[in-house]
Structure 1
Amino acid sequence: MATTTKTGQAFDRASLESVLKRRLFYTPSFEIYGGVSGLYDYGPPGCALQTNIVDAWRKHFVLEEDMLEVDCTMLTPHEVLKTSGHVDKFADWMCKDPKTGEIFRADHLVEDVLESRLKGDKEARGQKIEAKGEEDGKKKKKKVKEVKVVKLEDEVVKEYEETLAKIDNYNGEELGQLMKKHDIKNPATGGDLQPPVAFNLMFSTSIGPSSNLPGYLRPETAQGQFLTFQKLLEFNQQSMPFASASIGKSFRNEISPRAGLLRVREFLMAEIEHFVDPEGGKKHPRFEEVKDVELALLDRDVQLSGSTKVTRKPIGEAVASGLVDNETLGYFLARIQQFLEKIGIDKTKLRFRQHMANEMAHYAADCWDAELLTSYGWIECVGCADRSAYDLSVHAKKTGAPLMVREIRKEPLQIEEWVAEIDKKKFGPKFKKDGKTVETAVEALSQELREKLSLDLKNEGKISIAVPNVGDGKVELGSDLITIEKRSRVEHTREYIPNVIEPSFGIGRIFYALVEHSYWTREGDEARGVLSFPPTIAPTKVLLVPLSSHPDFKPLVKRLSHKLRAIGVSNRVDDSNASIGKRYSRNDELGTPLGITVDFQSVQDNTFTLRDRDSTKQVRSTEEKICTAIKNIVEGVETWEQVSKRLPAFEGQQLED
């Protein structure tokens, strides 16, 4: 998919990836041993950028929303993930080439092949298409993926486009049918593929030296938060609603990792579990603050019609119309967009896509993904799901733990209900070993059925109820064994299992999308890449550049560096022999937003020039004013435009070359 930079240039992925690897933002893990697909190490600027993204996330959510942060273990016993449903349901569909042994993820294979055919159709029709460039080893040459130039029938093009719009909604059997229908084979060999089968994505392990406690590396950070719910509720003084948050590594054994940092096997997640009372309609007390935030929404009905056209509307309107299920879910969608914009994501490359039925997680009542447009297409970077009461319910049922809220009612509640009572002295001898099963069936009778059975008992002196696995599946109870009557009671307390709204952030994917959205090159000098990170999250905030190696500059540089660090501003010195323009240029690649030049005038009057990365414009002022301006820009108090209006412009020596 062709994308452009912020300046309207055609995006060159090969150029960006060369910068990222050369400047050590990240590198393949175990590279000298040949590497392992889906595993990457972050270098110094990558670590700093990731840390700053997480720090911004903490401030935006944990601090501002007063969340309770926890750090739970990554090792998870089998029984926990069996109860949560991950052991049985946390899977993707894979297919295998029986001759070569090559494994493919079925939905990605169908997607790639159909997109390739559509590109061939466009080329055959004379439409301009952009080939994706990739860096080939150490040689900077472009490899163009071969696209077979074939003109397709109009109805075939329409069918392909509709299939791609619904690709996330197909199950394994349907993907197999698509592969058969569209004659999809191994792209490399043309060999036949076996039908898709489910592959569980969790890494299994064992806990303890005897290996008798099976476990997994967690696939998400959520389960630890659910299991500590009762303790968090107590810590929060039994007050509802509240939210917990967790930041940590998760692991998924991806079938065929691809697209660099976008699909990896070990990754950093930041997840929120917002516990809410379902009886209140899942209202949010701060919804009014965000109701006018406009979002680009792609709902499930539009996708099922074969379209990917988004609708832009305020979140308040989307919630009011029922498009977004409730206020709390809508509130977090708006807050997610605000966070992504704050760290530098291009708003025009952001949309929220609603999950379709087949792709909905087993626990979700509604779910929207924040997707970011990259050169790889639209990539899910944040999921925001209404998990209902699923997780707390299944863990409470399995363990007997009271994962619920008990609260005093403001006004006592008068309740009238039909009560069924059995005579246990007669019941045991009558049913013997089946007594407990029959008793459980009686307790499970609904209020409506109890009312009807009370009339039968009164008129006929007996009733018949369904009890599976006992006799012929029905049991007859006489009035000597059971009574059913309407009674009143007053309830002073209420017990309920909270529902959960869960925003889940893939930090690595956000990291990569941010890098793509921030990258551009200067007009007329395409070799000079620039990463326009916002100052708040840039890996290094200030570059200190002495004009030359003259000894008079060293004490000034040292003093400036110390002063900036004292006010919490990261900086680095480049006193190499390269020209000032080249020194600034290579730090533009690192995303450093500001630069201070130390020259001979600095020695004379203690004034310095301050350079802006994006515009390359400069101002000149005293050390104190320059440091204050830097601190304000880095903390988001002022912008460069505001600083440049109040500090004198520097029009002297040309420092760029």
Structure 2
Amino acid sequence: MLELDTTIITPASVFETSGHVARFADWMVKDTKTGDVLRADHLVKNVLEARLAGDKEARGLAAAPVVEDKKKKKGKGAKAQAVQLADEVVAEYETILAKLDNYSGADIGELCRKHNLRNPDTGNEVSEPQLFNLMFASSIGPTGQHPGYLRPETAQGHFLNFSRLLDFNNGRVPFASAQIGRSFRNEISPRAGLLRVREFTMAEIEHFVDPENKRHERFDEVRDIKLTLLDRHIQEAGKSTTTEMTVGDAVDKGVIANETLGYFVARIYLFLTKIGINPARLRFRQHMANEMAHYAADCWDAEIHNSSGWTECVGCADRAAYDLSVHSARTGHPLIVREALKEPIVTESEVVEWNRKALGQKFKQDGATIAKTVEALDQAQLTALKGQLAQGSAPITSADGKTFTLTPDILTIEFKTTKQWVREFTPNVIEPSFGLGRILYTLLEHSFWSREQDIDRGVLSLPPLVAPTKVLIVPLSARVFDPLVKEVHAKLRKAGIFSRVDDSNQSIGKRYSRNDELGTPYGVTLDFASIQKRTMTLRERDTMEQRIGGIDEVVEVLIELVNGSMDWAQACERLPAYDGVQAVE
């Protein structure tokens, strides 16, 4: 992949061309009395979920969560009240929630009226939904004469630099570009920490591919990966039932549009699970027709379950040729790939040849309209027109209803055979887009837990791959073990493994417990036996199991554990268990 870094402040013309100015928006509603602004789909979701929770409590199935703000006691909708709903009402609410992302603004307004959905903080009615553009407007230049926007995504920078990127790849596709950078969206209601913010870090890949060949040469490597899928048809039917399916089956059955899109969906799954996301709380949801971005032909979101529900953390879209086509049309610069063919494409067709001078003299300003009308005709229509011209003249009618009479001195139509040795096409784009803040938040939530024997002892089970500190070095006491500590620290540093030393006055147990909460996966202890026998104990964070071995042997095992070439079970086969009797005072 070709890495690039593009501008954050972008001229308005770029986003006018891409469609973001007209269509990059969410629906919002206002509290009719206080003027508070709420995101419309979130209002529907929160109120209906609270009512369903109250229904469960009334039926004795679960306790309703209290979401009341004590400062707003007048808020009639602020608490999930234990009220039993009719079965058909429960079914209707569940259907609405399953297809919520597919509703238009008018649909959401009708839902608010039909189900009396009010501001949960105040109990007041809300206005009709209105579109709110999510981009931050700015101005460029000393007098502000050039309007601009803070980018809502990094993608447009890739497309504006497509010609350069293509040159770097020697004019061939497929190839990909990648960028990590800040993006800005004027969210209606930021909330939930890193889950919905106005400034965030994105990591985006734009994979350019031949529209007639969306196969991927490495697809067989991921074909058998099993994913949890929620396709658009299930959602449009008002359900949220997921299906487990391999990526290969999903592509073969047309659930996922093509191999390249399926390949990146699978790679997203591998990435998320490798860094520590719980695969049982990960699903891929397909966008429905109304929620599909204006540029997308197909799109799947990697949604991760957390305390706020299912949250989109990665999107993977087939943007087709939309972006390159609109920017090319606006600038007049062809954003295309020219492919030399081994065998020519031979075509036989009727070809129009104009006498431009005669056309202009006879029809003047209408000449361009006539040429455009004729060149839009298909082969059958051209054949018919050719026959009429052979009789002396032929009438044609333009799109605006004007009729013109053409004669053989203005144009001729001949049947020709042509050979095309170069194929020109606008590539399609497959785009995986990662919200790094959301991924980080859900990773922390999935990784944090407490030990059964002591709920105050928190553990952050980050995989060694992403844990900030890989190894904790714990000397039994300070100073005496300084030479050994420096030796172990140096050997780990030379192997590229970040470690830290905790030589505080706390007990070894407390030092380990403190670092368990920081996510440090491994710890080594140096005691008096280390001086006499050059041994060292190795502790694993989650199980608290300890093994023992020579310092060099333990360091070798640590290197393999951190690099991922060995797991803890294999380490236990290499090193004997530590029973606490090796220490010598």
Paired position in structure 1 for 2:61: 127
Query: Which amino acid is the alignment partner of residue 506 of structure 1?
Result: G
Is the aligned partner of 1:623 residue 2:551? yes
1:357 Cα deviation after fit: 0.2
- From the superposition, tell whether residues 611 and 134 of structure 1 become closer, same or farther in structure 2 (CA, over 3 Å): farther
1:135 Cα deviation after fit: 13
Query: Which amino acid is the alignment partner of residue 263 of structure 1?
Result: R
2:463 maps to which of 527, 534, 545: 534
- From the superposition, tell whether residues 147 and 130 of structure 1 become closer, same or farther in structure 2 (CA, over 3 Å): closer
Paired position in structure 1 for 2:429: 500
Paired position in structure 2 for 1:517: 446
SS at match of 1:412: strand
Query: Which amino acid is the alignment partner of residue 517 of structure 2?
Result: E
Paired position in structure 1 for 2:282: 350
1:271 Cα deviation after fit: 1.0
Select between 125-134 and 233-242 the one with higher mean Cα deviation.
125-134
- From the superposition, tell whether residues 130 and 619 of structure 1 become closer, same or farther in structure 2 (CA, over 3 Å): farther
Is the aligned partner of 1:341 residue 2:273? yes
Is the aligned partner of 1:180 residue 2:113? yes
Q: TM-score, normalised by structure 1?
A: 0.84
Is the aligned partner of 1:204 residue 2:132? no
Paired position in structure 1 for 2:508: 580
1:275 Cα deviation after fit: 0.9
1:250 Cα deviation after fit: 1.1
SS at match of 2:579: coil
8 Å Cα contact 2:52-2:90 kept in structure 1: yes
Q: TM-score, normalised by structure 2?
A: 0.95
Paired position in structure 1 for 2:16: 82
Correspondence 1:188-227 to 2 at 5 A: 188-227=121-160
- From the superposition, tell whether residues 634 and 113 of structure 1 become closer, same or farther in structure 2 (CA, over 3 Å): same
8 Å Cα contact 1:374-1:513 kept in structure 2: yes
- From the superposition, tell whether residues 604 and 467 of structure 1 become closer, same or farther in structure 2 (CA, over 3 Å): same
Paired position in structure 2 for 1:406: 338
Paired position in structure 1 for 2:197: 264
Q: How far, CA to CA, are the matches of 2:178 and 2:37 in structure 1?
A: 36
1:444 Cα deviation after fit: 3.0
8 Å Cα contact 1:350-1:371 kept in structure 2: yes
8 Å Cα contact 2:57-2:64 kept in structure 1: no
SS at match of 1:558: helix
- From the superposition, tell whether residues 454 and 177 of structure 1 become closer, same or farther in structure 2 (CA, over 3 Å): farther
1:653 Cα deviation after fit: 6.5
Is the aligned partner of 1:292 residue 2:224? yes
Correspondence 1:629-640 to 2 at 5 A: 629-640=557-568
- From the superposition, tell whether residues 588 and 150 of structure 1 become closer, same or farther in structure 2 (CA, over 3 Å): same
SS at match of 1:279: coil
1:552 Cα deviation after fit: 0.5
Q: How far, CA to CA, are the matches of 1:436 and 1:191 in structure 2?
A: 60
Q: How far, CA to CA, are the matches of 1:487 and 1:511 in structure 2?
A: 62
SS at match of 2:43: helix
8 Å Cα contact 1:438-1:467 kept in structure 2: no
Is the aligned partner of 1:275 residue 2:208? yes
Is the aligned partner of 1:319 residue 2:251? yes
8 Å Cα contact 1:552-1:603 kept in structure 2: no
Q: How far, CA to CA, are the matches of 1:294 and 1:447 in structure 2?
A: 48
SS at match of 1:364: coil
Q: How far, CA to CA, are the matches of 1:93 and 1:538 in structure 2?
A: 39
1:524 Cα deviation after fit: 2.3
- From the superposition, tell whether residues 264 and 134 of structure 1 become closer, same or farther in structure 2 (CA, over 3 Å): farther
Q: How far, CA to CA, are the matches of 2:169 and 2:68 in structure 1?
A: 51
Show CA shifts across 1:596-618 (max 9, x none).
Answer: 11222222222211110000011
Q: How far, CA to CA, are the matches of 1:272 and 1:418 in structure 2?
A: 43
Paired position in structure 1 for 2:367: 435
1:474 Cα deviation after fit: 4.1
Select between 329-338 and 555-564 the one with higher mean Cα deviation.
555-564
Show CA shifts across 1:26-62 (max 9, x none).
Answer: xxxxxxxxxxxxxxxxxxxxxxxxxxxxxxxxxxxxx
Q: How far, CA to CA, are the matches of 1:98 and 1:289 in structure 2?
A: 56
- From the superposition, tell whether residues 158 and 325 of structure 1 become closer, same or farther in structure 2 (CA, over 3 Å): same
CA RMSD of aligned residues (A): 2.1
Correspondence 1:313-462 to 2 at 5 A: 313-458=245-390, 461-462=393-394
Q: How far, CA to CA, are the matches of 2:402 and 2:159 in structure 1?
A: 38
Is the aligned partner of 1:151 residue 2:84? yes
8 Å Cα contact 2:521-2:540 kept in structure 1: yes
- From the superposition, tell whether residues 338 and 452 of structure 1 become closer, same or farther in structure 2 (CA, over 3 Å): farther
Q: How far, CA to CA, are the matches of 2:347 and 2:66 in structure 1?
A: 67
How many residue pairs match? The answer is: 577
Query: Which amino acid is the alignment partner of residue 515 of structure 1?
Result: L
1:478 Cα deviation after fit: 3.5
Q: How far, CA to CA, are the matches of 2:276 and 2:568 in structure 1?
A: 15
2:27 maps to which of 93, 116, 126: 93
8 Å Cα contact 2:283-2:302 kept in structure 1: yes
Please list every run of at least 4 consecutive aligned residues from structure 1 whose deviation after the TM superposition is greater than 6 angstroms.
132-136
1:459 Cα deviation after fit: 5.1
Paired position in structure 2 for 1:482: 411
Q: How far, CA to CA, are the matches of 1:132 and 1:450 in structure 2?
A: 72
Q: How far, CA to CA, are the matches of 2:359 and 2:451 in structure 1?
A: 87
Paired position in structure 2 for 1:63: none
Show CA shifts across 1:499-544 (max 9, x none).
Answer: 1111111111111111111121111211111111111111111112
Query: Which amino acid is the alignment partner of residue 511 of structure 1?
Result: L
- From the superposition, tell whether residues 320 and 455 of structure 1 become closer, same or farther in structure 2 (CA, over 3 Å): farther
1:131 Cα deviation after fit: 3.2
SS at match of 2:224: coil
Paired position in structure 2 for 1:563: 491
Higher relative contact order (CA 8 A, sep 6+): 1
8 Å Cα contact 1:131-1:145 kept in structure 2: no
8 Å Cα contact 2:53-2:62 kept in structure 1: no
Is the aligned partner of 1:648 residue 2:576? yes
Show CA shifts across 1:534-557 (max 9, x none).
Answer: 1111111111222233x2122322
2:536 maps to which of 595, 608, 620: 608
SS at match of 1:503: strand
- From the superposition, tell whether residues 296 and 446 of structure 1 become closer, same or farther in structure 2 (CA, over 3 Å): same
- From the superposition, tell whether residues 446 and 532 of structure 1 become closer, same or farther in structure 2 (CA, over 3 Å): same
Q: How far, CA to CA, are the matches of 1:447 and 1:170 in structure 2?
A: 43
SS at match of 2:212: helix
8 Å Cα contact 1:467-1:474 kept in structure 2: no
Q: How far, CA to CA, are the matches of 1:576 and 1:373 in structure 2?
A: 38
Paired position in structure 1 for 2:39: 105
1:460 Cα deviation after fit: 7.0
8 Å Cα contact 2:537-2:548 kept in structure 1: yes
Query: Which amino acid is the alignment partner of residue 167 of structure 2?
Result: E
1:421 Cα deviation after fit: 2.7
Correspondence 1:7-18 to 2 at 5 A: none
1:481 Cα deviation after fit: 2.6
1:151 Cα deviation after fit: 0.9
8 Å Cα contact 1:84-1:394 kept in structure 2: yes
